[in-house]
Amino acid sequence: MKVMAQIAMVMNLDKCIGCHTCSVTCKQAWTNRTGAEYMWFNNVETRPGVGYPHTWEDQDTWHGGWARTKKGRLKPRSGGRLARLAKIFANPDLPELVDYYEPWSYEYDKLLSAPKDSAAFPVARPVSQITGKPMDKITWGPNWDDDLGGSTETMSQDPVLAQMNLDVRTEIEQTFMFYLPRICEHCLNPTCVAACPSGAMYKRAEDGIVLVDQDRCRGWRMCVSSCPYKKVYFNHTTGKAEKCTLCYPRLEAGQPTICSETCVGRLRYLGVLLYDADRVGEAAAVEDPQDLYPAQRSVLLDPYDPQVVAAARRDGVPESWIQAAQDSPIWALIDTYEVALPLHPEYRTLPMVWYIPPLSPVVDQVTASGNDGEDHKILLTALSTMRIPLEYLAGLFTAGDTRPVERSLRRLAAMRSYMRDVNLGGAGDEDIAGAVGMSGAQVEDMYRLLAIAKYDDRYVIPTTHPETPRGIAALGQDVSDLIGAGDGSPEACSVSTFHGQSTLRMTSRGRAAAAASAASQPSTPGRVNLLDWGGDEHASGLFPPAPSEGSDR
Amino acid sequence: MTTEHTADPAAPIFRFGSFLRRGEASPDTRQIFLTGGRDADTFYRDRWSHDKIVRSTHGVNCTGSCSWNVYVKDGVITWETQAVDYPSTGPDMPEYEPRGCPRGAAFSWYTYSPTRIRYPYVRGVLLDAYRAAKARLGDPVLAWRDVVENPVTSSAYKRARGKGGLVRSSWAEATEIAAAAHVYTIKRYGPDRLAGLSVIPAMSMISYGAGSRFYELLGGTMLSFYDWYADLPVASPQVFGDQTDVPESGDWFNAGYLMMWGSNIPVTRTPDAHFMTEARYHGQKVVGISPDYADSTKFADEWLRISPGTDGALAMAMGHVILSEFHVRERTPYFLQYMTRFTDSPFLIRLKARDNAFVPGKFLVAADVATGGVVEPSSSAVRDETLASTPHAAFRPLVWDRVGGIADPGGTLADHYGPEGEGRWNLDLSGVDPVLSISELPGAEPVELLLPRFDLPGAAGQGSVGAGVVRRGVPAVRVGDEYLTTVYDVLLAQYAVGREGLPGEWPKGYDDATVPATPAWQEELTGVPAAAAERIGREFARNAEQTGGRSMIVMGAGTNHFFHSDEIYRTFLALTTMCGTQGVNGGGWAHYVGQEKVRPLTGWAQHAFALDWHRPPRQMISAGFFYLLTDQWRYDGTPVARLASPLSEGSLDGLTTADTLVESMKRGWMPSFPTFSRSSLLLGQEAREAGVDPQDWVVSQLKSGDLRFACEDPDDPENFPRILTSWRTNLLGSHAKGAEFFYRHVLGTDSAAQAEEVPEERRPKHMTWRETAAAGKIDLLLTLDFRNTSTTLYSDIVLPAATWYEKSDLSSTDMHPFVHAFDAAIDPPWEARTDFQTFQTLAALVSQLAARHLGVQTDVVAAPIAHDSPDEFANPGGVVPDIATVGLVPGVTMPKLIVTERDYTAILDKFNTIGPLADGAGMMTKGVRFSPHREIAALGRLNGTAEGGPGDGRPLVDTDAKAADMVLALSGTTNGRLAAEGFADLARRTGTELASLAEGSEDRRITFADLQAHGPQPVVTSPEWSGSEHGGRRYSAFVVNIEHSRPFHTLTGRQHYYLDHDWMRDMGESLPVFRPPLDLHHLYGEAAVGSTGSAPGGEAQVAVRYLTPHNKWSIHSQYFDNLHMLTLGRGGQTIWMSPADADKVGVRDNDWIEATNRNGVVVARAVVSHRMPEGTVFMYHAQERTMGTPLSETSGKRGGVHNSLTRVLIKPSHLIGGYAQQTYAFNYIGPTGNQRDEVTLIRRRSQEVQF
């Protein structure tokens, strides 16, 4: 047994309101800059739907994750390493920009600069952020099918529906939807790390965060194709891979990730899990995909087990981390209450962002049937009449096994019934708790964690231990000497590094096109045309003029 | 690890990787672990580092009032994340943290964005003309006159509006022009020709107040917003006598049963939605009621899929079930006691004979118990024969005391004012035990009632569209010649709840669809299964019974934006009151549509309306203002008879809806600015010269016909409003209902309006029709903003405003019980200034120019009859008097006329100091008095005092922070001493115990510095509001009324089911009743919903209901243009439609479509989704056509904004004033800018688009 610690996340989809605040705060903090316009380290998908990038779950197309060979070995679906090295310059499994979306902006400056006697009310036309050319009709975005928008065109392409053989009708009576926020899974068995030819991707020993070393990344993009969740992105300006960092600069300080802290649904939990690193490969290679969920759980170690605690100390896990593992809401939700489930365990990466599946309303045909309305409990627990097919959720979380999903939903429903009695001033009914294999006290504890959910209960994050030897520099020789220096040096602070909007930097072809277009449509005198400004030269109109310029026209 | 795994042939490569990186490869070599990574990823660590975090909030119209951390690095605002610094809700509740939403999270994008307005801009055509005139004339005011009074230059710059050509100017020049325009307009046309438009002060009170203070000091008019947005639930003043008071979102958690009715909580209350999701875990049942599968539906245990606008029918059916089962059959004690004490149910109504039956008439009041009156005082049925001689006897409705007969229960409007009512205005019912139903009396006789219905198919013709009459019986008691019954009895009849022995038509059961109010009846109208309506209604009541009233309805714009939403809401509110849920934590109505709560209300009103210097302020109903200004009345011509009750007694006969507006304004029911056909300064001057009292002068001038009301002739240039200044809002891109009429008549530029003016026979009776409608009425459209909007692009002058991260201000909301500060993260960049600085600058310039042009003037202010004052006694019995008979009596049959002296050279001095009226005359809020002597003195010591001028020695409010201190110090919610004083004042009136509500808070003082240093602070319980936060309790409205016997501000002092004003009765709306969406097919000839046909170009088109709900990717128009939101949405204007409707016209997802109706044209892309119901489209509102909207095929012009398809429709019953709770106050009552009854034609247009 080799005990390692991982900071993991649970999202309670039953509380997710699909607001995308997480996406925006993440975007603003991390990917609001040149080369990263199309990247959403955190995105939220309406399900059923195709997701971002388009149909990312269709591994027959993208070949992400691991495949199990007949001999029981794991190899990346994109092929063994040699095979991948052979096609390193022509990676066929990469999503293209159209699969993400072509980021665009608008000619905002044309609003105020519209010349006198314009024929029509001024308008800001959409333009590509990649080519600078007009995009008169936006045809795809990172969240195109939000709230089932365009469902008649896209919903049937949802890979989970195909995988589960589900036929979902596009009729209002049968409508269901829920939201799936996604970040990097920071897997225990990450394909992206294994697939990186440069060794630039790594999993941090102390907290399990999977990162790209910006100095060492050579832009081979094997990580992009091998990640089954499509959560590694390629920065088209720096030529480096980038991905969710689990906000490690914040975690190290004991603060939750931005997506967590800003989650207004209060549905995210962060905490420490201990796991047996020696058993990761074995668990990832169990034969039946439906065994992957229990197998992954078996790799997670009981933080209260004295043997585990001793081994953790032996393996250098700091005492405060062991304590955090014991207080971990993640452990409670995965193990104690068994309500959280992994996303697509069949990818065999042992993902570490887990989900509580959503309850959903009963169909109105059932309500019309005159179900006994005197008893709220009947309506609160009618799982069999839920709108969202259990099979769909099982296709997401348990490789198709509906039993764990049903257990999770039953526990949520039982909690509601139990707490209704408490809410009405009575005592909780132990029979309700017992029916889902819990005690009343456990139900109430789970209720406090899920409903009351105070900040300190949602996020139990030990601070980093800088006194422990760490850091790549401590390893000695800088490996970049071996391969050559990268191009990912940190940029200085400017509006462009934080808002991307003065940095519609583009290919030389795009710049030429934009320049031509700008020449034919004069912009505000004295204001820089943001479409062809590279961000590197002086732009007199962008910042306040020197006082001597005065405020005259 | 097994050896099998390491036998991977690729293993050497993995090991090579581990050579490259001196980390530790896992034994199977598939993983590489590195310790740390701190050097390799300095990029992210560096990006995360920042120089400071400033806590602030957002001044956006979402009433979110969220707390945000703004990150600053090297002087650049980098981003924001939500602060989690809210005071705790206690151990057993979820906390407020981390309130926010994706829109707010994208705000910093604006700071340096290319849509940021960085400098002052002026329309070039205007600027050239002004410069030339100024060069010639030397004087700015004369130059402005030269520009606007010359028809050539004037129409030239007006025609250029919205067609580009804005040029950069300087602050000095742009503000000089604006100030000159103000001075000229005051001098030539009068101060009430200036209109200030800013909205929702709670979202940044000082920024609102700076501008409104400027306008009120000038004598200008501030335009309302709550009614204009159609967010004001007129049912609230009607039922509660209160503008709107609702629970904080945290109180949802206390509910045992929650109906989300037309309110899409996850989208429109994003920061608070978690309380709903978490309350479900608490055992709460959640029901969603919406036409579409809304975001909220995901959380609902049951979804009632309802046809848009038919909500009243569903609520009537639920009420039918509740009254049948809980009131009549089970006689649930909690419900009946609540009805008796806290509603008008036991009050007596006189029945009026009609067609061999009766109709419900007026309340029986003490004045009716008089010799020769309705009831002889000597009658044995009367408990106290001196009733008629009690004060305000006409406003003293009566009940039937179980032992003594007709009696005064106390607490009615009669006790609210005057010395005799002291200690009596309460709900204690001391010594009176009212019967709820006349059936409890031995002498009860059954009589038959006629009641109106409006649910029948419409038809062409003259009569009321879709109206009919039902016959129902009530028990009545005969006293003398009069039959009396109770409101409760009439209510049961209205809800078709039969009792033994009563005549009339009654349903045979819940499944009887032939009789209005049954579950089966509603199913045919709403599409909601009868069984579901029945069960949900029953559950709502059962839960209320089990929990002592903890059943709640969250109601929203989905039901509130209809023409008849006051009636829809009254059917909802009836559910909450018949189950005893109002005034109970976890219960009652939770109206969340544009509602705002300036918690520090008293001090804010003093500052914002300059009440410390001049009273009264000029405040106007925007729907009326814009209806007249935009000439929409010329296209309307709706005869009231088409909307009225089939049982109408004629008070509205022969009138169009436009006539009723004029009628209401002339009677002083509603405000009317501009008021007269001459300047109010000129009237003052004339009176002075004639040596008569200005009030008498105005009355005599009106009588002689030499003076008219401006509303009678809105196209007379003398009557135009001349200046419209907007800040903190986007009129033309967001809330200009009938946008195309704004362009044509207000601005004088291109318009795509499709409607014809009404023919002669349908024109208003009381208005002057000029053959040619006016175009370009407004001389100056001045806008302050930080981003470009439709409004800025149409404006004549645009001034660059500071954003929310660049100023000091105050914020509060009714969603949470805290008040907090805006704090500047950076100084305003480029040439931006705060709104406070801008209006201060204008105040200085106007004062300077006034020295030559204005000096000191006498202003005659025509103020409407005012709510929460003895003015409410103006119209006894709600009878509309005949003016010819009773004459013009200011404050009774016409507006009050109040004279005030304005020294226009002292505007800046007054702007900068707290005037003497605050502590001199004192401050009144909702009838409660506050005297801030100590606070005024303390503010002087804290912030300094002025030297010289009219404000000599008075405390300074010359900065936004000082103004914030004024607001905080002068309000009970932020100053415990004033709260305690207010409760003491109120307790003298009620005679009940109230002191405990402020107990322990007397010493609390919240200052602006506190808010900056400590973040959101909980407010003090104060009589400014009706709920209590005392002891950390969640705020719920009307808790003080229920627990401390404080009456509601209504005629009976109770929550009203029954409204007896003449116009209410003649509209058929005395009681809650189902009124369907307007039948525009029969009223205006619009296509019938569901019909298909061909467009002029031959394309198929379909007629659908056109709804404009709130957008997920914007807050009104704010954020719609934000690149992050455009990226997460679809990057431009869209219309959501059902697959069925899309198929009918050959539209696929993302196709370009055009939507047209009589009002205008919209170009958008279709979003086809099966979550949409057939027959209805959504155009999420305020999408702003500035972002990628092409030219329209229909009009050849830029495709319209969502309001291109709407227009103002005036509902007469909203215009009632001068009577009890139906009396005017700003944003309290008035005609709404409803827009949900519209119909549009949709067709697929050419997919080639041009810009």
How many residues would you count in chain B?
A: 1251
Helices (H) and strands (E) in chain A, counts: 26, 15
3-state secondary structure of A439: coil
Which of B44, B76, B297 is nearest residue A361 as measured by Cβ atoms?
A: B297
Is A494 touching B (CB cutoff 8 A)?
A: yes
Give the pair of three-digit tokens for residue B495: 């809800």
How many CB atoms are closer than 10 A to CB B1054?
29
Closest residue by Cα to residue A293 from A230, A210, A357:
A357
- For residues B403-422, give the mean pLDDT: 96
Helix (H) or strand (E) holding A397: helix A390-397
For residues B983 and B976, give the distance between their C-alpha atoms in angstroms, rounded to a whole number. 11
Q: Give the tens place of pLDDT for each residue, A270-286.
A: 999 999 999 999 999 99
- Which chain B residue's Cα is nearest to A74? B5
Q: In the predicted model, what is the mean pLDDT of residues B910-933?
A: 96
Q: How many residues does chain A have?
A: 553
Token digits for B949? 């001028």
Closest Cβ–Cβ partner in A24, A29, A476 for B102: A24
SS3 of B439-452: the string is: HHCCCCEEEEEEEE
pLDDT of residue B32: 60
Q: Which of B118, B295, B1247 shows the shortest C-beta gap to A147? A: B295
3-state secondary structure of A291: helix
More confident residue, A168 or B616: B616
Per the structure block, which two tokens stand in for B709? 């009301």
What is the distance in angstroms between the Cα of B6 and the nearest Cα belonging to chain A?
A: 9
Q: Say whether A428 sits in a helix, a strand or coil.
A: coil
Local confidence band at A377 (pLDDT 50, 70, 90 cut-offs): low
Residue B300 sits at the chain A interface (C-beta within 8 Å): yes
What is the rounded average pLDDT for all residues in chain A? 84
DSSP letters of B212-250?
Answer: HHHHHHHT-EEEP-TTTTT-S-THHHHHHSSS-----GG
Q: Measure the CA angle with vertex B1018, ends B1017 and B1021; round to 5°.
A: 145
Q: Are B1144 and B1137 in contact (CB under 8 A)?
A: no
The pLDDT value recorded for residue B409 is 97
| Helical segments of A175-315, H only | 191-195, 222-226, 248-251, 258-261, 280-284, 292-299, 306-314
Tokens describing residue B703:
């009588």
* Interatomic CA distance for residues A348 and A404, integer angstroms: 18
Structure tokens, B1095: 């467009």
Query: In B, which residues are within 8 Å of A152 by CB distance?
Result: 1139, 1142, 1148-1149, 1168-1170
Cα pseudo-dihedral B991, B997, B1001, B1003, rounded to 10? -10
The β-bridge partners of B1153 are B1164, B1244
All CATH 3.30.70.20 domain ranges in chain A, comma separated: 17-101+142-261
**A250-270 confidence digits (pLDDT tens):** 999 999 999 999 999 999 999
What pLDDT, on a 0 to 100 scale, did the predictor assign at position B864?
98
**What residues does B450 pair with on adjacent strands?**
B471
Distance from CA of B1196 to the nearest CA of A (A): 9
Q: Of all helices (H) and strands (E), which one includes residue A210? A: strand A210-212
Give, in order, the Cα–Cα distances in Å from A84 to each of A193, A197, A223, A225: 14, 9, 11, 10
DSSP state for residue B733 in the 8-state scheme: I
pLDDT score recorded for residue B108: 96
A263, A373, A472: residue with CB nearest B36? A472
Interface of A with B in 326-365 (CB under 8 A): 358-362, 364
Query: How confident is residue B535, by pLDDT bands cut at 50, 70 and 90?
Result: very high
B274 touches chain A (CB under 8 A): yes
Is residue B871 less than 8 Å (CB to CB) from chain A?
no
Q: Is the pLDDT of residue B37 over 90?
A: no
What are the tens digits of pLDDT across the range B457-515? Answer: 999 888 999 999 999 999 999 999 999 999 999 999 999 999 999 999 999 999 999 99
What is the model's pTM? 0.93
Question: B30: distance to nearest CA of chain A, Å?
Answer: 5
**Structural class in CATH, domain A268-458:** alpha beta
With H, G, I as helix, E, B as strand and everything else as coil, classify residue B1120: coil
For range B861-889, the mean pLDDT: 96
Residues of A in contact with B1167 (CB under 8 A): 149-150
Are the C-beta atoms of residues B620 and B1229 closer than 8 Å to each other?
no
Among partner residues A82, A171, A248, which is closest to B1170 by beta-carbon distance?
Answer: A171
Contact list, A143 vs chain B (CB under 8 Å): 1127-1129
CATH topology of domain A17-101+142-261: Alpha-Beta Plaits (3.30.70)
pLDDT for B43 equals 84
Q: How far apart are CA A294 and CA A276, in angstroms?
A: 14
SS3 A297: helix
Q: Pick the residue from chain B with its C-alpha nearest to A490.
A: B43
CB-based burial, B1020-1043: b 16+ in 10 Å, e otherwise: bbbbbbbbbbbeebbbbbbbbbbb
Determine whether B461 is exposed, middle or buried from the number of CB atoms within 10 Å of its CB (0-12, 13-18, 19+).
exposed
Q: What pLDDT shows up at residue B619?
A: 98
Judged by a CB distance cut-off of 8 A, whether residue B1143 touches chain A is no
Residues B149-194: pLDDT tens digits? 999 999 999 999 999 999 999 999 999 999 999 999 999 999 999 9
Residue in A with minimal Cα distance to B549: A424
Region B26-40: mean pLDDT is 57
Question: Is the minimum CB–CB distance between B423 and chain A shorter than 8 Å?
Answer: no
B contacts of A14 (beta carbons < 8 Å): 277
In chain A, residues 4-63 whose CB comes closer than 8 Å to chain B:
14-15, 17-21, 23-25, 27-30, 32
Exposed / middle / buried, residue A469 (Cβ in 10 Å: 0-12, 13-18, 19+): exposed
Please report, rounded to a whole number, the percentage of residues in chain A having pLDDT higher than 90.
67
**What secondary structure letter does DSSP report for A450?**
I
By Cβ distance, the residue of A114, A412, A472 closest to B34 is A472
Instruction: Compute the CA torsion angle B839, B843, B848, B854 (nearest 10 deg).
Output: 130
Host H or E run for residue A275 = strand A268-276
Residues of A in contact with B120 (CB under 8 A): 551
The tokens 């899309």 sit on which residue? B1142
Question: Angle of helix A319-326 relative to helix A306-314, nearest 10 degrees?
Answer: 150
B contacts of A122 (beta carbons < 8 Å): 162, 164, 793, 1186
Residue B162: closest C-alpha in chain A: A121
| Mean pLDDT score across all residues of chain B | 95
Mean pLDDT confidence for A486-495: 48
Beta bridge partners of residue A271, listed in sequence order: A8
State residue A111 phi and psi, 5-degree precision: -65, -55
Among the partner residues A141, A376, A501, nearest to B113 by beta-carbon distance: A501
- Scanning the structure block, which residue is given the tokens 């245990």? B301
The dihedral built from the CA positions of residue B767, B770, B776 and B778, taken in this order, carries a sign that is: negative
- Interface contact B168-A553, CB threshold 8 A: yes
Q: What tokens does B1127 get?
A: 């990226």
Shortest distance between the Cα of B729 and any Cα of chain A, in A, equals 18
Pairwise CB contact (< 8 Å): A373 & B1132: no
Angstrom distance (rounded) from CA A436 to CA B1202: 51
Predicted confidence at residue A84, as pLDDT, reads: 67
Contact of B337 with B488, CB cutoff 8 Å: no
pLDDT bracket for residue A459 (50, 70, 90)? very high
Q: Which of A54, A25, A55, A57 is nearest to A41 (CA)?
A: A25
The distance of B1051 to chain A (nearest Cα, Å) reads 36
**B594-643 tens-digit pLDDT:** 878 999 999 999 999 999 999 999 999 999 999 999 999 999 999 999 99
Structure tokens at B1149: 């997802």
Distance CA A355, CA A267 (A): 10
| CA-wise closest residue to A456 among A274, A322, A327 | A327
From chain B, pick out residues whose CB is under 8 angstroms from the CB of A123.
1185-1190, 1198, 1251
Q: Residue B848 is which amino acid? A: Q
Contacts of B74 in chain A (CB under 8 A): 493-494
CB contact under 8 A, B295 and A451: no
Which segments of B336-444 are extended strands (E)?
348-354, 357-363, 399-401, 405-407
Inter-residue contact A250 to A258 (CB < 8 Å): yes
What confidence category does residue B42 fall into, taking pLDDT thresholds of 50, 70 and 90?
confident
Judged by a CB distance cut-off of 8 A, whether residue B913 touches chain A is no
Least confident window among A153-157, A473-477, B478-482: A473-477
Q: How confident is the model at residue A294, as a pLDDT?
A: 98
Token pair, residue B838, equals 């801008």
**CB pair distance less than 8 Å for A362 and B301:** yes
* B33 pLDDT more than 80: no
Total CB pairs under 8 A between chain A and B? 540
Cβ atoms of A471 and A461 within 8 Å: the answer is no
Q: How far is A313 from chain B (nearest CA, A)?
A: 17
Cα–Cα distance measured from residue A105 to residue B70, given in angstroms and rounded to the nearest whole number: 24
For B1069, the token pair is 């709306």
Residue B972 has pLDDT above 70, yes or no: yes
The beta-carbon contacts of A538-546 under 8 Å, at least 24 apart in sequence, are: A539/A502, A542/A495, A542/A502, A542/B112, A544/B118, A544/B829, A544/B830, A544/B831
Q: Which residue among A125, A170, A493 places its CB closest to the CB of B76? A: A493
B1189 reaches A (C-beta below 8 A): yes
CA A283/CA A273 separation, integer angstroms: 16
Strand B923-925 vs strand B928-930: parallel, antiparallel, or unpaired?
A: antiparallel
Q: Does B30 touch chain A (CB under 8 A)?
A: yes
CB contact under 8 A, B36 and A471: yes
Tell me the nearest-neighbour CA distance from A369 into chain B, angstroms: 7
Select the residue of B114, B274, B285 nearest A266 (Cβ to Cβ). B274
For residue A115, list chain B residues with Cβ-Cβ distance below 8 A: 164-165
CB-neighbour burial class of residue B660 (10 A; exposed 0-12, middle 13-18, buried 19+): buried
Q: Which residues contact B139 (CB under 8 A, 6 or more apart)?
A: B852
Rounded CA separation B91/A96 (Å): 50
